Amino acid sequence: MTNYRDEPPIPLEPFPTVRGDSPFPPLAESVAPPAAAEPDPPSDWIERADAHDLPTRENALVALGRFAFPPAPPLDEEGVAARDRRWTSRTVMVAAVFLLVFNAVSPLNWSRQQPPGWVPETVRQLSEVWVARLAVFGVDMPRQGVREGWDAARRARFVGQTQDSGTAADGSTAAAEP
Amino acid sequence: MLFPTLAFGVFFLIVYFTAWSLDRENGKRKLFLLLASWFFYAQWDWRFVGLLIGSAILNWGVAALIARDRERRGVGPGEKGGNGWLVALGATANLLILGFFKYYGFFVQEAGELLARFGWERDLPLLQIVLPVGISFFTFQGVSYVVDVHRGKTPPAKSLLDVMLLMSFFPHLVAGPIVRASDLLPQFDRTPRLTREMATHGLLLIVWGLFKKTVIASELSTHLVDPVFFDPTAFGALDIAAAVYGYAVQIYCDFSAYSDMAIGLAALLGYSFPRNFDQPYRAASMQSFWRRWHISLSSWLRDYLYVPLGGGRRGLLASCINVFITMVLGGLWHGAALTFLAWGALHGGVQVIERLGRAVFRRPEGAEERRSVLLTVVGVLVTFHIVCLGWILFRAESFDLALQVLEGLGRAGPAVMLTPLLLALIVGGLAMHWLPPRAIEGMAERLKGAPSITLGLLIGAAILLVEAVRPEGVAPFIYFQF
């Protein structure tokens, strides 16, 4: 301000005082409003508390185990399929090995039914050794036991039936008179 | 190479592990399965592998021509349309192959006898033709593929390899089930997934099939059915009745065992086959029986024979004639013999009577469908005994022998062949029809969560039991001859 009327007015504000629009959003919009403070728990909380909601203390060994061996991430579809294939293959292999031990006589029987040749002869010789070695441990007993039971059932006859009639244990049939 | 043999077991283990090692390359996997299937088929007669290949090329070519014709005419997928002559060409070519191998000798012999009756005795050219194993099955599969492409039910296969594998895939190759292209071709598009449920179900079906075939069917066949049907005059009514019931159980256990094992083997390779048997002796009518027995054949006959003949669209009389023709031809499909024709006629005739009966005693519109337990029991018993009567025709090698069996049912005599064990097998074979309808599936559902070692031991122990009681060697499956 001045006392001289003729003096040109001194620009009080040499710089533009009106600011243009900011390219940025107003500060208030980019900052989330403060969360409302949680209300105090009701004074009777202890009466309504459920023991199962309370944090439980984990076994230290379990916690250590999870730290040492963290669980694998969940499998995708391909992973599940591969896991199921492995499971099936293991099942098949376990069954095959089980039969190779407890049904060791089967390859021997097969080789005896084949026409002579290199493969049947090799299988026969290997099987004979295999069967003989396993027989030491008695692994052929279950099969033999079942077989004997089955043969006994085959030999059974109705009351009044003769043993000669019907089928013999070896599978041959007795011709019946009309 | 029969399923229940050690040789097949080794073959399948090799195929199983090799096929899954190729799971990232579906094309190579299919090629390997095709080569394995040809190897399997060549164990019977390697010359017929050429027939299998030729048949596949024929069907692939005709289907491709049909597809091109449909495209040219603008027929959309799912719509029936195209040149009918091409379908007729494909179906006729397939049936000619089947007819030559299966029926040539039969028709020439019958024609010779007919001419002789009229005094025109001629030396017709009789040929000793070896019947290729499973020809009926892969021929029917070829026909269904060509017709389905024409009907728009299935798109043509993407490659010749797919058609060849469809027709040659070893689990169903020699005795079915008749797997339609619409069931199997989509499964060939990508490497299949094997789930635990599928694997468990497959393993249980294989064990169950082994038991039915090698224990029940073999025992009944060797010790009861074969001796009695060889000379029925030597036995009394008890033995003959036991042999007839025994054959009913034997043929069910034999054929359903093959289907079970085929479904199980395919499942272990990741493919799904349709069910082929559903407790058939529970049926309370002949129509119901054919919805439960050899389902893939009965549905084939319905879709490709009964429906084209007109089905039930032209009234009751036409439907009766059509069903009778269908069943007679179905009988002829089983074998080139008059006994099979009579068997088909019996089944067709009973179905005609049932249809007429239903038409006469039809309930009024809106009436509640209710059937008493007594009626159901009577229906089951009557149907089962008609089926058994049919089995006599089916099993006997001639009409004379069938008549001898029927006569023997009225001849008193002690039971010579029937033993407690055989009786138990017959009763057990019939009783298994009253197990829960989806017992194997239910068991698989329970066992799929078991550790692999536990399940492997269980499967191994079950096979060991079967191996311990089965006879040495194994007879071919009955349906191989068809």
Model confidence over B163-182: pLDDT tens digits? 999 999 999 988 778 888 88
Q: Which of A91, A93, A110 to mutate to test the interface with B (most CBs of B within 10 A)?
A: A91
Interval B424-447 mean pLDDT = 91
Distance from CA of A59 to the nearest CA of B (A): 27
Burial of A18 (0-12, 13-18, 19+ CB in 10 A): exposed
Higher pLDDT pick, A56 / B200: B200
Q: Which pair of tokens denotes residue A25?
A: 């959003």
Question: Chain B residue closest to A119 (CA)?
Answer: B7
Q: Beta-carbon neighbour count of residue B258 at 10 Å?
A: 28
Higher pLDDT pick, B234 / B480: B234
Q: Is B127 on the interface with A (CB under 8 A)?
A: no
DSSP assignment, residue A103? T
Contact B459 A153 (CB under 8 A): no
Nearest to B460 among A94, A109, A175 (CB): A94
CB < 8 Å to B239, chain A: 176
Task: Return the domain boundaries, chain B.
Answer: 27-191, 197-361+371-469
Distance from CA of B194 to the nearest CA of A (A): 6
Question: Chain A residue closest to B234 (CA)?
Answer: A178
Does the model's ipTM exceed the 0.90 cut? Answer: no
Is residue A1 classed as helix, strand or coil in its secondary structure? coil
**Do A155 and A169 form a contact (C-beta atoms < 8 A)?**
yes
CB < 8 Å to A127, chain B: none
For residue A167, what are the β-bridge partners? Answer: A173
pLDDT at residue number B268 = 94
Interval B464-472 mean pLDDT = 88
d(C-alpha A102, C-alpha A137), whole Å: 11
d(C-alpha B202, C-alpha B444), whole Å: 9
Contact B234 A175 (CB under 8 A): yes
pLDDT at residue number B87 = 86
Residues of B catalogued as catalytic:
334
Question: What residues contact residue B39 under an 8 Å CB cut-off, 6+ apart?
Answer: B11
Question: What residues contact residue B187 under an 8 Å CB cut-off, 6+ apart?
Answer: B270, B271, B272
Identity of residue A106: S
pLDDT at residue number B369 = 62
How big is the CA angle at B207 (ends B206 and B211), to the nearest 5 degrees?
A: 115
pLDDT (tens digit, 0 to 9) for every residue of chain A, 178 residues total?
445 555 555 555 555 555 556 666 665 555 566 677 777 666 666 666 676 666 677 788 888 887 777 777 777 777 888 889 999 999 999 999 999 999 988 888 888 888 888 988 999 999 999 999 988 888 889 999 999 999 999 888 888 777 665 544 344 444 333 2
For residue B96, what are the β-bridge partners? Answer: none
d(C-alpha B82, C-alpha B147), whole Å: 11
Contact A176 B195 (CB under 8 A): no
Contact B464 A90 (CB under 8 A): no
* Among B340, B52, B302, CA closest to B174: B52
Identity of residue B19: A
Q: Which of A88, A97, A102 to mutate to test the interface with B (most CBs of B within 10 A)?
A: A88
pLDDT at residue number A150 = 92
Contact B452 A88 (CB under 8 A): yes
pLDDT at residue number A26 = 62
Q: Which pair of tokens denotes residue A77?
A: 């579809």
d(C-alpha A120, C-alpha A108), whole Å: 9
Contact A147 B239 (CB under 8 A): no
Question: Chain B residue closest to A166 (CA)?
Answer: B417
For residue A173, what are the β-bridge partners? Answer: A167
pLDDT at residue number A174 = 41
Q: What is the 3-state secondary structure (H, E, C) of chain B?
A: CCCCCHHHHHHHHHHHHHHHHCCCCHHHHHHHHHHHHHHHHHHHHCHHHHHHHHHHHHHHHHHHHHHHHHHHHCCCCCCCCCCHHHHHHHHHHHHHHHHHHHHHHHHHHHHHHHHHHCCCCCCCCCCCCCCCCCHHHHHHHHHHHHHHHHHCCCCCCCCHHHHHHHHHCHHHHCCCCCCCHHHHHHHHCCCCCCCHHHHHHHHHHHHHHHHHHHHHHHHHHHHHHHHHHHCHHHCCHHHHHHHHHHHHHHHHHHHHHHHHHHHHHHHHCCCCCCCCCCCHHHCCCHHHHHCCCCHHHHHHHHHHHHHHHCCCCCCHHHHHHHHHHHHHHHHHHHCCCHHHHHHHHHHHHHHHHHHHHHHHCCCCCCCCCCCCHHHHHHHHHHHHHHHHHHHHHHHCCCHHHHHHHHHHCCCCCCCCCCCHHHHHHHHHHHHHHHCCCCHHHHHHHHHCCCCHHHHHHHHHHHHHHHHHHCCCCCCCCHHHHC
CB pairs under 8 A between A and B: 139
Confidence check: pLDDT of B43 > 60:
yes
Distance from CA of B117 to the nearest CA of A (A): 37
Q: Which of residues 2-21 of B touch A (CB under 8 A)?
A: 5-7, 13, 16-17, 20
Confidence check: pLDDT of B206 > 70:
yes
Identity of residue A138: G
d(C-alpha B382, C-alpha B389), whole Å: 11
**Do B254 and B395 form a contact (C-beta atoms < 8 A)?**
no
Q: Which of residues 178-217 of B touch A (CB under 8 A)?
A: 193-196, 199, 203
pLDDT at residue number A8 = 55
d(C-alpha B197, C-alpha B209), whole Å: 18
Task: Identify whether B471 is preceded by a cis peptide bond (ω within 30 of 0).
Answer: no
For B102-151, write each residue's pLDDT tens digit. Answer: 777 777 777 777 777 777 766 666 666 667 778 888 888 999 999 998 88
Q: Is B228 on the interface with A (CB under 8 A)?
A: no
Burial letters for B271-297: b for 16+ Cβ neighbours within 10 Å, e otherwise?
Answer: bebeebbbbbbbbbbbbbbbebbbbbb
d(C-alpha B52, C-alpha B100), whole Å: 15
Q: Which pair of tokens denotes residue A105?
A: 């006589």
Question: What residues contact residue B184 under an 8 Å CB cut-off, 6+ apart?
Answer: B166, B169, B271
Q: Which of B16, B426, B464, B470 to mutate to test the interface with A (most CBs of A within 10 A)?
A: B464
What are the phi and psi torsion angles at B341 (to 5°)? -60, -45
pLDDT at residue number B465 = 93
Q: Rounded mean pLDDT of chain B?
A: 87
d(C-alpha A106, C-alpha B423), whole Å: 28
* Among B164, B137, B140, CA closest to B61: B164
Q: Is B417 on the interface with A (CB under 8 A)?
A: yes
d(C-alpha B138, C-alpha B173), whole Å: 7
Residue B382 binned pLDDT confidence (cut-offs 50, 70, 90): very high
Confidence check: pLDDT of B16 > 50:
yes
Nearest to B421 among A102, A153, A174 (CB): A153
Identity of residue B23: D
pLDDT at residue number B5 = 85
The Cα-based distances of B172 to B34, B176, B179, B271, B275 in angstroms read 13, 4, 8, 11, 12
Contact B234 A110 (CB under 8 A): no
CB < 8 Å to A120, chain B: none
Contact B456 A92 (CB under 8 A): yes
pLDDT at residue number B4 = 82
Contact A81 B194 (CB under 8 A): yes
Question: Chain A residue closest to B21 (CA)?
Answer: A85
Taking the alpha carbons at both ends of chain A, their separation in whole angstroms is 148
CB < 8 Å to A153, chain B: 420-421
Higher pLDDT pick, A74 / B373: B373
Q: Is B338 on the interface with A (CB under 8 A)?
A: no
**Do B287 and B301 form a contact (C-beta atoms < 8 A)?**
no
Judged by average pLDDT, the poorest of B304-313, B384-393, B440-449 is B304-313
**Do A156 and B421 form a contact (C-beta atoms < 8 A)?**
yes
Is residue A9 classed as helix, strand or coil in its secondary structure? coil
Interval B208-216 mean pLDDT = 92
Q: Which pair of tokens denotes residue B394?
A: 């089916």
